Amino acid sequence: MYRVLVTDGVSPEGLKALTEAPDVEVDFRPTLNEEELKEIIGEYDALIVRSATKVTAAVLEKARRLKIIGRAGVGVDNIDVKAATAKGIIVANAPGGNTVAAAEHTIGLMLSLARNIPEACARTKSGVWDRKSFMGVELRGKVLGIIGLGRIGSEVAKRAQAMEMKIIAYDPYIPEERARDLRVKLVPLDTLLQEADFITIHIPLSKETYHLIDREAFVKMKPGVRLINCARGGIVDEEALYEALKEGKVAGAALDVFEKEPVTSHPLFSLPNVVVTPHLGASTVEAQLAVAEVIAQEVLTALRGGFVRHA
């Protein structure tokens, strides 16, 4: 029997290919910390995680029989891919399944910022009828700067075009034709920072992108810009963002992700023009089913010696 460990609340329904397989035994455990994971990882042939479980080199050292780590989502920044590869462990993700969920959440955050919806909701529910404090701005005619025109960035572009926004993007790795097909103008990062009224981030967290949006980047931005980060904490320097918001250079920020997660208290939470959600970009019934189905198939294939598509 192959033994599979599943953490981080991956959809059990989407994992039916594994739970119903005659040669597989699946254990569901909540998010495990490094020590807990180190203690039990040696018993498993496969591990399936979302973003909360950190699969470190120390954990992998104890993984005597692990063949594959399946990430039920896109970002693999919570997995030490180099250490896994050195041990011959496959790291597979499930790109595509949560693209629309993350794009829709991004649009929701952008509208929340433009129209102060979360603040106004809280004020109204607190028993105050306040129509003066929440003057918004329209998206129509505004410039949206998309950093990273991959799967999610592209879906955000399509949806923002329906709201009559003008879209520019910075992504040095995609071909011009792809941007042309999407009716998006590719520009250097500095141009995007200078011209955008709204900036949204859709790139992976890596050494290259860590604090890509730092103090210097905020200086280059248009006064009154609004920033959305539904990609990864760590791409935006949170201290620099706090200062830019306090100075009024940035009119608002909407954050689904943070450098340290989970986070229950943060200086940014004290600012009224900051909208936050607890890493909910991929949290739709449809997306969770889709990513779990993809990763279940990949894990089954790897365990049975087949070819993994998204390694």
Annotated catalytic sites, by residue? Answer: 232, 261, 279
CB of 2 to ligand NAD, least distance (A): 28
Looking at the Cβ atoms of 116 and 297, the one nearer to ligand MLT is 297
Contacts (Cβ under 8 Å, ≥6 apart) of 227: 198, 199, 200, 201, 213, 236, 241, 250, 252, 253, 254
Q: Rule CB under 6 A: say whether 10 interacts with ligand MLT.
A: no
Choose, by CB under 6 A, the member of 2, 21, 50, 192 that binds ligand MLT.
50
Looking at the Cβ atoms of 139 and 255, the one nearer to ligand MLT is 255
* Residue 273 main-chain phi, psi, to 5 deg: -95, 25
CB of 229 to ligand NAD, least distance (A): 8
Q: Which of ligand NAD, ligand MLT, none lies near 173, with the C-beta cut-off 5 to 8 A by kind?
A: ligand NAD
Handedness of CA 92, 96, 99, 100 (dihedral sign): negative
Q: Rule CB under 6 A: say whether 152 interacts with ligand MLT.
A: no
Q: Which of ligand NAD, ligand MLT, none lies near 50, with the C-beta cut-off 5 to 8 A by kind?
A: ligand MLT
Q: Restricting to residues 57-76, which ones interact with ligand MLT according to CB under 6 A? A: 73-75
Measured CA to CA, the distance from residue 83 to residue 203 in angstroms comes to: 23
Q: Which of ligand NAD, ligand MLT, none lies near 204, with the C-beta cut-off 5 to 8 A by kind?
A: ligand NAD
Residue whose C-alpha is closest to residue 122's, from 272, 310, 286, 292: 272
* Size (the chain), residues: 311
Q: Which residues here bind ligand NAD, judged by CB under 6 A? A: 73-75, 95, 98-99, 102, 147-153, 170-174, 202-205, 208-209, 230-232, 256-257, 279, 281-282
Looking at the Cβ atoms of 45 and 53, the one nearer to ligand NAD is 53
Looking at the Cβ atoms of 50 and 226, the one nearer to ligand MLT is 50
Measured CA to CA, the distance from residue 300 to residue 311 in angstroms comes to: 13
Q: Are 15 and 21 in contact (CB under 8 A)?
A: no
Q: Are 96 and 90 in contact (CB under 8 A)?
A: no
Binding site for ligand MLT (CB under 6 A): 50-51, 73-75, 98, 281-282
